[in-house]
Chains A and B, each alone.
Chain A
Amino acid sequence: MKNKDMTMAMKNSISDVLETMFFLSLDFSNDLDLLGLWDTGKDPIIAAKLNFSGPLSGYAVFYIPKKSALSITADFMGKDEQEISDDQIDGTVKEIINMIIGNTFSLYDPEAVFDLGVPELVGFHDFIKNLSDSGKRFSVVIETLENYLAFQMNITNQD
């Protein structure tokens, strides 16, 4: 596996998904300390996890503050924020990670077939501690106009 290619595929995929379907203007940073600016007491973090298998196996986690998730869900569905339910927010966040990871693998290797699991919400604290960008762990901070989001992919096995 070429780490540089995977990082590029991951960032391009995140841009494709968040800009094309959610109209977010974004930038990337490798400074994971930026996530220390999250005020998780006031604005909880939603974390969605997706397992994958194939030529590479592992999992990915997408982190987004709830206020940002509410905002993009409302925009996505064309509704006011007051009309959006927690289930709709969760569904949108799960859909985002599903699209990002599927698109990442298509960009990384268009010939390879990966099996994606069903996205699930997980405890933010259980996974954020594994956030790093080294070896087979790929992590990136996504800067939007409003907040910081994060994406993490951990490769646990390679065929």
Chain B
Amino acid sequence: MAYNILIVDDSTPMRAVIKKIVKASGFNVGQFFEAINGLEAMEVLNNEWIDLVLTDYNMPDMNGLELVEEMNKDDHLKSIPAIMITTEGSRTRVEEFMAKGVMDYIKKPFTPEQIKQKLTHIMGETEDEEQRYDNGDEELDF
């Protein structure tokens, strides 16, 4: 199955890097969509089929948590897993993320392996996982 992934971050370089890491992780990605904040993300979510949201927290206009809260108001959108990729590391803040419907979080700075682990946990093993390991291609690079 190919997953459509929405990457929400106000930083162009960070969106590009996350996209590159997800591709390198071997996930079967149908299409990447991008948004620069929660407002743009909601537009994408209302017009496209999205299977997973990777969102930054600290963005202008609508932050990542507000985005998840908006998604939770919609019967369809609330079923889409959202992972917060954030510099926020305080336990209190992370508990708030989880309480408000964020499925998991990745703390910046991150390694490609950390992203891969979270995606595997959320979406399940990739179809070509076995084949990649057979090729000895276990290392991920930026």
Inter-chain contact B17/A102, CB cutoff 8 Å: no
Within 8 Å by CB of B14, from A91, A112, A116, lies A91
Contact flags A137-151 to B (C-beta < 8 A → 1, else 0) = 000000000000000
Cα–Cα, bound, A122→B109 (Å): 24
Whether the pair B90, A99 counts as a contact (CB closer than 8 A) is no
Q: Is the interface of B mostly helix, strand, loop or mixed?
A: loop
Tell me, in angstroms, the Cα distance from A111 to B92 when the chains sit together. 6
Instruction: Write out, one digit per residue, whether chain B residues 103-114 have a CB within 8 A of any chain A CB (1) or not (0).
Output: 000011111000
Q: Which of B13, B90, B110, B142 contacts A88 (CB 8 A)?
A: B13
**Which of B44-52, B67-75, B81-89, B124-132 binds A?**
B81-89
Is B29 interfacial (CB 8 A cutoff)?
Answer: no
Contacts of B12 in A (CB 8 A): 87-88, 91
Q: Which residue of A lies closest to B20 (CB)?
A: A78
A35 part of interface (Cβ distance < 8 Å): no
Instruction: Tell me which residues across on chain B come within 8 A of A101, comparing CB atoms.
Output: 87
**Are B109 and A21 interface neighbours, CB within 8 A?**
yes
Option from B87, B93, B107 in Cβ contact (under 8 Å) with A113: B93
**A110 and B13 contact, CB distance less than 8 A:** no
A124 part of interface (Cβ distance < 8 Å): no
CB distance from B142 to the nearest CB of A (A): 6
Question: A102 to B108, Cβ gap below 8 A?
Answer: yes
Q: Nearest CB to that of A13 among chain B residues?
A: B109
Q: Is B60 an interface residue (CB 8 A)?
A: yes
Contact with B along A97-125 (1 / 0, CB 8 A): 01101110110011111101010000000
Do residues A21 and B11 form an inter-chain contact, with CB atoms below 8 A? no
Could you tell me the distance in whole angstroms from the C-beta of B132 to the nearest C-beta in chain A? 19
A155–B11 CA distance with the chains assembled, in angstroms: 26
Chain A residues with CB below 8 A from B2, complex form: none
Q: Say yes or no for A73: interface residue by CB 8 A criterion.
A: yes
A114 to B59 Cα, complex, angstroms:
15
State the CA gap A116–B59 with chains docked (Å): 10
- Report B's interface with A, CB cutoff 8 A: 10-14, 16-17, 20, 58-60, 86-93, 107-111, 142
**What 7 A-B pairs come out closest when comparing CB atoms?**
A102-B87, A106-B89, A20-B109, A21-B109, A92-B13, A95-B11, A91-B11
